[in-house]
Amino acid sequence: MNVISTNTIDVQNVTSINTMDIQNGISTDSVTSSSIPVSPAADNTTTATATSLTTSSRNTSAVWNHFTLLSNKLKDKLCFQFVEKPNFHKILSGILPCFSMSANTVKQDVMKGYDKRKNLIRTILQNAESRISLTCDVWTSLQQLEYLTITAYFLDEKWNLISLLISFELLSYPHTGANIGNCIKTVTDNYLITTKIQTITLDNASLNDVAICKLINSASQDLINIKKELFHNHCLAHILNLIVKDRLKKFQSFVKAIHTTPKRHQIFLE
């Protein structure tokens, strides 16, 4: 994925095409492109177009940045194939006709950005001076695939609470407590934080009790300093949600009776 940097107004004098960096959007790797061909028709409107697109102190195109920076792709939830759609190609050809972008290129950039951010988070967690607490939950997609999300919480040197999403793992079938426990153990080992875990909070499902037992048994040497009676926390919000849903069941028949006929509904409103 590339970012165009225009140091002059004339597109014929574009000085560099910089490879996108996940941290600041621009890297030091560049390829000179002073010989980029520009048609005579495009040359007449070059100055006005470049001026209208140049908005930042780096003289970079706001339109180009919106469609090429990795952070914007993720924020806008664009699919990889978006860059191969005809309308996008029309926009791209108006900015730089000789440049093209493929879905595979975008995918590679996303994965490189993911690996770089993952290594950064691993370093932050390893350097954390406090113990680390985890929250875990299982999420089901529209395709009926179940994913385990894990968020890590810790205090920094200024006692600020920091939260980092460290995992969005596809759960292998069957979705048992043992598999959930193994998945949590794999993630914590990957980030080298198993020995720093203080508590884990999950919802009130019975299979999570099995998951915690599996985790404690498989990581008994790493979790030797924890208080096992305080290690597993049940999510209070989930418990309250179950209580409210149970109480609301008693009103379902009453609500259905009101909405059975328009007459009953009107009488109720009066």
Whether the pLDDT of residue 133 is over 80: the answer is yes
Q: What is the mean pLDDT of residues 119-123?
A: 92
The tens digit of pLDDT for each residue in 180-199 reads 888 999 999 999 998 888 89
The tens digit of pLDDT for each residue in 85-107 reads 787 777 777 777 776 777 787 78
106 to 23, 28, 68: CA distances (angstroms): 16, 20, 9
Whether the pLDDT of residue 132 is over 90: the answer is yes
The tens digit of pLDDT for each residue in 6-48 reads 333 333 333 333 333 333 333 333 333 333 344 444 444 444 4
Exposure of 54 in the CB half-sphere (CA atoms within 13 A): 17
Q: pTM for the whole thing? A: 0.61
Q: Which domains are present in the chain?
A: 2-109 (no CATH), 130-234 (3.30.420)
Taking alpha carbons only, the member of 29, 5, 25 closest to residue 15 is 5
* pLDDT at position 221: 67
* pLDDT at position 135: 94
What three-state secondary structure class fits 27?
coil
The tens digit of pLDDT for each residue in 227-249 reads 667 788 888 888 898 888 888 88
Task: Take residue 117 and report the two structure tokens written for it.
Answer: 């951010």
State the sign of the Cα–Cα–Cα–Cα dihedral 146, 82, 84, 30: negative
- The stretches of the chain forming alpha helices (DSSP H) are 40-44, 46-53, 62-68, 70-75, 86-95, 103-127, 177-190, 206-218, 228-231, 236-258, 262-269
